[in-house]
Amino acid sequence: MNAVTRNLRVVRRMTAAEIAQQSVYRGAWIIFMLANITVPIISLLIWRTALASGAELPVDERYVTTYFVLLGFVTMATSSWMAGFLATDIRMGKLSSWMVRPASLLVGFVANNVSEKFLKLFALVPMIGIVWWIFRDSMNIPADAGRWLLFAVSILLGAVLVFTIDILIASLAFWMDDVSALVQARVIVASVLSGAVVPLALMPSWSRGFVDHQPFRYTVSFPVEIVAGQLSGRELLAGLGFQLGYVVLFALIARVVWSAGIRAYSAVGA
C-alpha cells in the first residue's frame, strides 16, 4: 500500500470519527452558521440601498446580490482554522506523539477540517437557500452546468490554498515562540484582499493590477465571480491557471518549510 492510499484511508476513518464526535455540538453549528451569513446579508442590504439611492458602482444590482448571497457559503467552504492549533502543538511538543503514528499530524487536521465543513453545510445550506429564494429575481443564475462545475473546482482549489497558507504560517512555530500575531495578520489581510468584506470589483481602479493577481483573490472572490460576474472563457481559464499555480507554489513552499522544521524539531519524546 503506497503512502497516498494509506493517508486517504486514514483521512476517511478520522473524518468519520471527527463527525461522530462533533455531532454533539449541532446547536453550536447552527449559531456559527447564522453568524456566518449575517454580515453578508447586512452588506447586501447596504449596497442594494446605495444602488437604489443612485450610487454609481462598476457593478449592477444583480452582481451585488449574487455576490453576497454566495459569499457566506464560499467563505465557509474555503476557510481554515488550523494554523493556531498546529503552532500550539509544535510549541508544546505534541508533535512527538505523532512521529510514531502511521500518519502525519497534518492528516489529522485535514480530517478535522473536512468533518467540520461537512457538518456546517447541513446548517448553512438551508439558510442560504432561504436567502437565495428571497432574492432569486435579482440574481445571476447561470444555466450552464459547466460554470457550476468550475465553481465547485475553484472552491476546492481555494480551500487547499488557504490550508497550505495556514501550514506555512504554523510551520514557523518550529523557530518562533509565538506565531499568533502572524495568524491574526493573515486573517485581517485575507478578509480584505479575498473580497470577504467588500467585493474586489469595487476596489479603486489604480489597485486593479495588484488586486486581480494577488493570491487571496483566489480563496473567496474568484469562485464567487465565476457565478456572479461576467468572466469570459479566457478570463476563467486564466483565473483557474493562477489559482492552480498559487496552490502548487504555496504547497511546495509549505512542504519545504515543514520538512526543515521537522529536522530542526526538538522536544521530549521526539
Cell numbers given for 141 = 443564475
Cell numbers given for 208 = 486593479
Q: CA angle, corner 237, sides to 226 and 63, nearest 5?
A: 20
Average model confidence (pLDDT) across the chain: 88
Quote the CA–CA distance of 139 and 147 in Å, as a whole number.
15
Q: How many CB atoms lie within 10 A of CB 104?
A: 17
Express each pLDDT in 29-73 by its tens digit: 788 788 888 989 999 999 999 999 988 888 889 999 999 999 999
Q: How confident is the model at residue 98 (pLDDT cuts 50, 70, 90)?
A: confident
Q: How many CB atoms lie within 10 A of CB 242?
A: 17
Q: What is the pTM of this model?
A: 0.89
Task: Name the nearest CA neighbour of 81 among 11, 183, 13, 176.
Answer: 183
Quote the CA–CA distance of 103 and 91 in Å, as a whole number.
20
Cell numbers given for 61 = 444590482
Quote the CA–CA distance of 213 and 246 in Å, as a whole number.
10
Quote the CA–CA distance of 206 and 184 in Å, as a whole number.
27
Residue 211 Cα to chain centre, angstroms:
18
Share of the chain above pLDDT 70, in %: 98
Average pLDDT on 118-130 reads 88
